[in-house]
Amino acid sequence: MARKFFVGGNFKMNPNTVAEKKKLVELLNQADIDSLIEADLDLEVVVAPPSLYLLPLKDILRPEIQVAAQNCYFKDSGAFTGEISPAQLKDAAIPYVILGHSERRTLFHESSATVAQKTKAAIASSLSVILCIGETLQERETDQTTQVCSAQLQAVVDEISPDDWSKIVIAYEPVWAIGTGKVATSKQAQDTHADIRAFLAKAVSPAVAESIRIIYGGSVNKGNCGELGVQPDVDGFLVGGASLKPEFVDIINATR
């Protein structure tokens, strides 16, 4: 079965004002992407605003574009100041959550075990998960990319059942490419995505490896999305900085 191309926009801690948010929504609502989505031409578009904007954005965005939370905790309620729960996201009909982003792993010290716990909890609340993995520059330069990605995935393999993988989109995001303007070459992306699929074929099942979407993230822009997007194992993008700009529409249309 063909894998539906997936383009995610990770707004991170942006935009800063309601006026900027409105401009962004207008851009997306007016963008020429109807034909692709409505004709079911194998495209899914999801944007992840800060949690404060999740519901307002969901209400005013065109219905073909879904929203995602940027994080959630692994408990459903209780004394966890500052956290948002999978149950709350489910109740608000938010379909996706990003988990394991490198900024969460690095700045907020989330271990792979924590990311796996969160993934399990999110799936238990019927959320779909955009699961981010990826190596640092030092790890790539010392040939540890496959090992690092496999270890990050193994933590999730240990927590969830093989059927649960249908609720996951894997975002391969080399840490050295995020927000740096230094994009992976299409060969680096393709080779790593193929390695991730090979790992899943062994650790979970060949069927999961074949059907799961593996998207690339890290300095994707309108200039490089075309070449990346045609790689056989690249099933879309997770876009940070460029998702706040008009060129996000060009990236959405990368496979047109």
Residues near ligand PEP, by CB under 6 A: 10, 173, 178-179, 217-220, 238-242
CA atoms of 107 and 128, how far apart (whole Å): 24
Q: Cβ(178)–Cβ(102) under 8 Å?
A: yes
Options 44, 101, 110, 193, the catalytic residue: 101
Q: Which is nearer to ligand PEP, 208 or 241 (CB)?
A: 241
The two structure tokens encoding residue 224? 């490089």
Q: How far is the CB of 188 from ligand PEP (least distance, A)?
A: 15
Q: Which is nearer to ligand PEP, 162 or 179 (CB)?
A: 179
**173 is an active site residue:** yes
**101 is an active site residue:** yes
CA atoms of 147 and 103, how far apart (whole Å): 20
Identify the three-state secondary structure at position 187: helix
Bin 101: left if φ > 0, else alpha if -120 < ψ < 50, else beta: beta
Q: Which is nearer to ligand PEP, 162 or 223 (CB)?
A: 223
Helix 145-157 crosses helix 186-203 at what angle (to 10 degrees)?
40
Q: How far is the CB of 75 from ligand PEP (least distance, A)?
A: 25
Options 103, 110, 139, 173, the catalytic residue: 173
Q: Which is nearer to ligand PEP, 189 or 209 (CB)?
A: 189
Q: How far is the CB of 21 from ligand PEP (least distance, A)?
A: 18
Positions annotated as catalytic residues are 101, 173
